[in-house]
Amino acid sequence: MLNQQQSRIRVLPDGAIAFTDPRPDLLPLIQMFDPNFTVRTAPLPGFFRPHLLDTRATGSGLRMTGMSDSNDGELWAAHDRALGYPAPKEPDEGSLLDVKIELATRMLRHCELCALRCGVNRLRGERGRCGLGAEAFVYESYTHIAEEPPINPAVNLSLRGCGMRCVYCQQAPALDPRGTAVEVLVPTFWNRLDFNQARSLVFIGGNPTESLPSVLAFLGAAPADFDLPIGWNCSGYDSPDAIRLLDGVVDVYIPDYKYAGDNCATTLSDAAGYATNVAHAIAAMLKQNVPVMVRVLVLPDHVECCHSPALESLAALSGYGELYISVQGTYLPEWKTLSSDSSLSRRPQQEEIERVRTRARELKLKLIE
Ligand code: SF4
Ligand SMILES: [Zn+2]
């Protein structure tokens, strides 16, 4: 069953026990090893109710029946007008969310949802690197109890497909949309999600942006009493138009900031242009007036080339919105790094993790501790 996948528990070479993606049923076991472990929570700044509910109730100025006849320019104009000057939707009017779904679906004809910009027609069966067509596929869904306190515990909805190829990917099986036990993301999947212990719903991957049209359609079917913030945990290799369509849908962004230079981005993730893209993507997220919690996963030997310059570039953005930094020391060798003899086949040293945190404090960035 998708909802009952287990946490991964690993004994590391130094004898330490690592729990990856811990779930509520593991809490007693985790506390046996670490009596200080608690399920930490904190308010999500500025959150009152999901933006999605308003976006679904906002009119687009276009009749639902005529929406498919509008050209892309007319749809984007209606989109931006409705975002800027929201008015209640009339009965035969398409909503702002309907316009977003139409635009996102049209983007599949020449796909540039992620920054790889394959340009394939996913509606006609062509496939880019993510391997996705028009549908989204669920890899797993579960409640995670060790996310950042403002979203913790989170129902994580993990989607297959990704435009990046990180050699240390923790979700490598999720990269393949044609993997085993594929499940299409359809509106009835809401019935499968258990929000009993959750404080947020977070889309993860793979990378969720590659599945944007289906996710928006799925969100259109959210129950009327759904009242949790929606998080978007993305790679930072997301296109500007995709982020524009997430405006008014996402309540908190949780992007990665993996690399500050193209050499590391290309060598480790085959993601040309990542460094430029991620900085622009985070700037665009901040303009949407929702919290942006940037994850910096400390990679061994990448403090100087990537993490320090990344923090410096984030410091330059910190005046533009609610920016938080989550420094993560949880890197474990995975996938292609398991058999590698590079520095990525070891965990980061505590000193490296502390150096990243210290640099963030020096730059007066708000650290999620
Ligand atoms: S989402 Fe990215 S990888 Fe997939 S087809 Fe579009 S541009 Fe290519
Ligand atoms: Zn680097």
Q: Where exactly are the structural domains of the chain?
A: 8-32+135-210+230-237+250-362
Query: Rounded mean pLDDT of 215-239?
Result: 97
Is pLDDT above 70 for 323? yes
Q: How confident is the model at residue 335 (pLDDT cuts 50, 70, 90)?
A: confident
Q: How confident is the model at residue 288 (pLDDT cuts 50, 70, 90)?
A: very high
Domain 8-32+135-210+230-237+250-362 annotated CATH 3.20.20.70: yes
Could you tell which of 105, 113, 235 is best to mutate to test the pocket of ligand 1, judged by most ligand atoms within 8 Å of the CB? 113
Question: Which atom of ligand 1 approaches the CA of 119 most closely?
Answer: 7
Is pLDDT above 60 for 75? yes
Q: What is the pLDDT of residues 170-212, one digit of tens each?
A: 888 778 887 766 799 999 999 999 999 999 999 999 899 999 9
Q: What is the pTM of this model?
A: 0.95
Q: What is the pLDDT of residues 86-99, one digit of tens each?
A: 999 999 999 999 99
Is pLDDT above 90 for 51? yes
Is pLDDT above 60 for 4? no
Helix (H, G, I), strand (E, B) or coil at 343: helix
Whole-number pLDDT of residue 19: 79
* Alpha carbon of 259 to ligand 2 centroid (Å): 6
Name the closest-CA residue to atom 5, ligand 1.
128
Q: How far is CA 82 from CA 86, 99, 254, in A?
A: 5, 10, 25
Question: Which atom of ligand 1 approaches the CA of 131 most closely?
Answer: 4
Q: How far is CA 224 from CA 49, 54, 141, 151, 219, in A?
A: 12, 11, 21, 21, 11
Percentage of the chain modeled with pLDDT above 90: 78
Residue 116's identity, in one-letter code, is: L
How many CB atoms within 10 Å of residue 228? Answer: 20
Buried b (16+ CB within 10 A) or exposed e, 77-111: ebbeebbeeeeebeeebbbbbbbbbbbbbebbeeb
How many CB atoms within 10 Å of residue 227? Answer: 12
Q: Is 159 in the pocket of ligand 1 (CB under 6 A)?
A: no
* Alpha carbon of 331 to ligand 2 centroid (Å): 14
Do strands 230-232 and 200-204 pair parallel, antiparallel, or not at all (unpaired)? parallel
Q: Is 113 in the pocket of ligand 1 (CB under 6 A)?
A: yes
Q: Is 213 in the pocket of ligand 1 (CB under 6 A)?
A: no
Q: Is 111 in the pocket of ligand 1 (CB under 6 A)?
A: yes
Mean pLDDT, rounded, of the chain: 93
Give the whole-angstrom CA distance, residue 112 versus residue 104: 10
Which ligand places an atom closest to the C-alpha of 110?
A: 1
Out of 8-22, 116-130, 173-187, 226-240, which region has the weakest mean confidence (pLDDT)?
A: 8-22
Query: Rounded mean pLDDT of 41-47?
Result: 95
Give the whole-angstrom CA distance, residue 220 versus residue 329: 36
Out of 84-98, 180-194, 252-266, 283-297, which region has the weakest mean confidence (pLDDT)?
A: 180-194
Is pLDDT above 80 for 15? no
Give the whole-angstrom CA distance, residue 295 versus residue 253: 10
Which ligand places an atom closest to the C-alpha of 239?
A: 1
Question: Which atom of ligand 1 approaches the CA of 162 most closely?
Answer: 3
Is pLDDT above 50 for 1? no
Which ligand places an atom closest to the C-alpha of 235?
A: 1
Q: Is 104 in the pocket of ligand 1 (CB under 6 A)?
A: no
Whole-number pLDDT of residue 128: 96
Query: E strand or H helix at 264, and its extent?
Result: helix 262-269
Q: How confident is the model at residue 3 (pLDDT cuts 50, 70, 90)?
A: very low
